[in-house]
Amino acid sequence: MSRGIGFPVTYRCLFFACILALTHVRTLADPPYKNCSTSPGNFSDAKFQNQRNDLLSVLSSYASKSRFYSTKVGDNVDDQLYGNFLCFGNLPLTECQECVTLAARNIKKLCPMSKQAIGWEEKCQLRYSDEPFFGTMDNTANLPLWNNRSVPDPELFTDAVKKLMSNLTETAAYHSATNLLSTGHSSFEDLHGLAQCTADLSPSNCNSCLQFALNQILSCCSSFRGARVYSKSCYLRYELYVFPGIDSDNPPPSKKSRRNVLVAVFVAILVVGLIVITSICLYCSVLRKTKHQGKYGTLT
Ligand SMILES: *[C@@H]1O[C@H](CO)[C@@H](O)[C@H](O)[C@H]1NC(C)=O
Ligand SMILES: *[C@@H]1O[C@H](CO)[C@@H](O)[C@H](O)[C@H]1NC(C)=O
Ligand SMILES: *[C@@H]1O[C@H](CO)[C@@H](O)[C@H](O)[C@H]1NC(C)=O
Ligand SMILES: *[C@@H]1O[C@H](CO)[C@@H](O)[C@H](O)[C@H]1NC(C)=O
């Protein structure tokens, strides 16, 4: 009986260690986030799935041409579905399309039967509804998120965040050339920020959305080293590194990617260590087994 134990126990440990390592890596990748309606709406379910599939494929294919697009599908009042996507900042179009395609896949999983939904990814957002929403500002589903690691001098940092983000907010709404977008960085440390609205908003609606989001950041988390507000109508984010959508001719290696490298190295060391330990255990149990077998052999 005792002979059988060595193998499964070691493998079980290895299995759990791998699961642990994998879940650790997964927690670093935060999005997608979602807000899905629960009201049944007027669609029959089969019709709805069809219309949504049509809408999502039109949106995904358009993301190779533009960072913002809105459209509707359906000819009759009771089968229309409205949708848009927004790729954040100056995201390259190839990445925009990848992101919107991912968002389309995720929103079907995250909001299977919702007639109104928005999904937020790292680099883009995707929204649809059975009610028209183009041109209206909506901050009812705003989702502020932050990296809760602190900074050495929170007061100084908060001031820098406030100064940079107020500037970007006003610039995006009133002084951006076409697309209600502004990015910038502060001389304070390596602080980068982005403020953006869906391109269908008027400047004053854009300003309202961004001001509201900025106040959310200032009241929850401007003393933390990174924060963002996801919204149906705008996007606000700052970090101490260059993040997706920020203009940078020659982006320095970001703190985040350095951290990812550290995690990868840690996982690699863990896995190699486990393999070594497993091999030693296997070797020992084989030795023990052959020893026992030898003994029994001489006895019989
Ligand atoms: C659903 O149908 C009702 C009655 O026909 C109508 O009043 C309502 O506006 C419809 N809702 C939507 C979201 O189309
Ligand atoms: C989704 O948005 C609604 C408002 O549109 C809000 O009341 C609700 O709390 C949000 N749900 C989640 C899970 O954030
Ligand atoms: C940050 O968040 C993590 C995980 O959510 C939590 O364990 C930790 O206590 C938080 N730290 C601070 C300073 O709030
Ligand atoms: C934002 O900052 C830039 C660069 O420092 C400056 O030129 C611009 O006038 C500022 N805009 C606003 C609205 O404060």
For 216-263, write each residue's pLDDT tens digit. Answer: 999 998 899 999 999 999 999 999 999 999 976 544 445 555 566 566
Tell me the mean pLDDT in the region 170-192.
93
**Do the two domains 33-129 and 143-251 of this chain adopt the same fold?**
yes
For residue 188, the model assigns a pLDDT of 83
For residue 22, the model assigns a pLDDT of 40
For residue 148, the model assigns a pLDDT of 87
Taking only the tens place, the pLDDT of each residue in 131-174 is 999 999 999 999 999 998 989 999 999 999 999 999 999 999 99
pLDDT at 89 over 90: yes
Tell me the mean pLDDT in the region 56-72.
98
Say if ligand 4 is within 6 A of residue 202 CB.
no
For residue 187, the model assigns a pLDDT of 86
Tell me the mean pLDDT in the region 194-198.
98
Taking only the tens place, the pLDDT of each residue in 114-130 is 999 999 999 999 999 99
Task: Report which protein residue has its CA nearest ligand 4's atom 7.
Answer: 167
Query: Does the reported pTM lie above 0.95?
Result: no
Of ligand 2's listed atoms, the one at least distance from the Cα of 36 is: 1
pLDDT at 28 over 60: no
For residue 288, the model assigns a pLDDT of 66
pLDDT at 296 over 90: no
Tokens found for residue 120: 């937020």
CATH architecture of the domain with range 33-129: 2-Layer Sandwich (3.30)
Confidence of residue 285 (pLDDT cuts 50, 70, 90): confident
pLDDT at 20 over 80: no
62: nearest Cα among 104, 32, 22: 104
For residue 105, the model assigns a pLDDT of 98
Of ligand 1's listed atoms, the one at least distance from the Cα of 42 is: 1
Confidence of residue 189 (pLDDT cuts 50, 70, 90): confident
Task: Report which protein residue has its CA nearest ligand 1's atom 4.
Answer: 42
What does the domain layout of the chain look like in residue ranges?
1-29+252-300, 33-129, 143-251
Q: What burial class does residue 242 get, using C-beta atoms within 10 Å of its C-beta: 0-12 exposed, 13-18 middle, 19+ buried?
A: buried
Say if ligand 4 is within 6 A of residue 170 CB.
yes
The answer to whether domain 143-251 has CATH 3.30.430.20 is yes
How far does the centroid of ligand 2 lie from the alpha carbon of residue 257, in Å?
Answer: 32
For residue 298, the model assigns a pLDDT of 38
Q: Which has more pLDDT, 83 or 291? A: 83
Task: Report which protein residue has its CA nearest ligand 2's atom 13.
Answer: 35
